[in-house]
Structure 1
Amino acid sequence: MKKLPLVGLLILTVACSSTSSVIKNHKQTLVNHNTFVITEMASDRTYGLSDQNPVEVGGVSESSGPLNERRFLNALTGPNGEKISYFRSGSCCPVKSNNGMSGMAMLDNYRVTYEGSKDTVSIYINMYDSSPLKAPYGFGIKK
């Protein structure tokens, strides 16, 4: 009998908790099966280039998370329209996500370069949450 009030209190606490962590399920648009539509350049220079501000492509709930990551990258060019190349360097950086397991998700890190580039750039991608896509600072958008 003593457990019943504790269970009720727990349910009330969870039900009344802050809704600051919103489930992000923005519907992405495709150019074709392998490429997303991106129409905007990021004004925030950290977008995608910092694990604190990852690109959110979604898709994990439909078993298309890794494909969505590639769809995003396939929509990018170098700053002057150069073809990019990329590889997944691994997972990193736990982030809060209501779409992840136990409220957490891991980001994927891709190393991206293009012809004439002097360095490889890290792009951080979240396949658990989805929000409007933008081209990170220093990249262009495929036409």
Structure 2
Amino acid sequence: MMKRTGLIVCTMFALINTYAQTAEDFYNQGMKKAYSGELEAAIALLDKSIELNADEYVAWYNRGMAKAMLRREKEAIEDFNRTIALYPGYKKVYLNRGTSRKHLTDYDGAMADYNKAIELDSSYVDAYYNRGLLYELLDKKEVACLDFNKSLELGSYKAQKKVDQCNDTTLPATHSILRLTEKSTDETYGFTPENPIKSGTGPNGGPANQRAYLNLLRDALGNPIAYERVGNCCSYKSENGLLGLATLDKYRITYKNDKGEQKETIVYLSFYDFETPEILVGFNTIN
């Protein structure tokens, strides 16, 4: 009887070792895919790693990062929440959950996460910089500049440009696009050069405001759209343009219609002028 018991125990230990190694193998393979930019493949491998060992916080965290990079922010936050449950003191997860929350317009949640990251590490340079960006987005320049200066003091090369902007009193007024609240009823809005989306110049420059607008769009099924800039065109009169003329930027957007069919179209945006941006006909925004 003792010999049988000993055999069972040894077999159990062998199974446990195989189990742990297999989870680690999937994790390592997933990370290799992530580093090579194959994010969907990385997620699939990290899924298998988590199935075999659901107590390893780094697998949840890195799967969340891969999802965030694919703009699957809600799913990313779920993984970050699990990471925090397993390792409440992991500062990086608060930083990146904060950024995902910001992308979903949960600005209070984002601020709480950046504050928590700084609470965990008072020298966390990336947390100061990202909190500064959020303050800037919320039009709280004074406290934003304090964070940018702190970030620069801690060695962030990115913060130098922001500090220079803080010290420059000649910069024109900017417009932050925090949410899209109005739906256009004009089917030409955004889809024709005669009726462009006027996103204005934001705290991170004109093109950044265009991206902010497009990042807030959702297709008919509620999914993020894909987009790429494909050039500019179409001069029009504008007091904010060079010699009284401005141009439009053209973006190709890829999305699914209400039937689930993948479609492409061109939209036109201007960062020279600002009018409160509206949601395109047939599209939605973040709920």
After the TM superposition, which residues 56-95 of structure 1 pair with which residues of structure 2 at under 5 Å, given as runs?
56-59=198-201, 64-95=205-236
Task: Please tell me whether the aligned partners of residues 111 and 122 of structure 1 are also in contact (alpha carbons under 8 angstroms).
Answer: yes
Residue equivalent to 1:103: 244
Identity %: 36
Residue equivalent to 2:271: 127
- TM-score of the aligned structures, taking structure 1 as reference length: 0.72
The structure-2 alpha-carbon separation of the partners of 1:47 and 1:27, relative to structure 1 and needing over 3 Å to count, comes to: farther
If you compute each CA radius of gyration, which structure gives the higher value, 1 or 2? 2
Q: What is the aligned-residue RMSD (CA, Å)?
A: 2.1
Residue equivalent to 1:12: none
Paired letter, 2:238: S
Higher relative CO (Cα under 8 Å, sequence separation at least 6) belongs to 1
Structure having the larger proportion of residues in helix: 2
Residue equivalent to 1:53: 195
Q: Tell me, in whole angstroms, the C-alpha distance in 1 between the residues paired with 2:220 and 2:176.
A: 23
Q: Which runs of 5+ in 1 are unaligned?
A: 1-24, 31-35
Q: Tell me, in whole angstroms, the C-alpha distance in 2 between the residues paired with 1:26 and 1:38.
A: 20
Q: Give how far 1:26 is off.
A: 9.5
Task: Please tell me whether the aligned partners of residues 174 and 201 of structure 2 are also in contact (alpha carbons under 8 angstroms).
Answer: no
Q: Which runs of 5+ in 2 are unaligned?
A: 1-171
Q: Tell me, in whole angstroms, the C-alpha distance in 2 between the residues paired with 1:47 and 1:92.
A: 16
How many residues matched? 113
Q: Tell me, in whole angstroms, the C-alpha distance in 2 between the residues paired with 1:121 and 1:102.
A: 31
**Greater shift in the superposed pair: 62-71 or 45-54:** 62-71
Q: Give how far 1:95 is off.
A: 1.2
Q: Give how far 1:137 is off.
A: 1.0
- TM-score of the aligned structures, taking structure 2 as reference length: 0.37
The structure-2 alpha-carbon separation of the partners of 1:26 and 1:124, relative to structure 1 and needing over 3 Å to count, comes to: farther
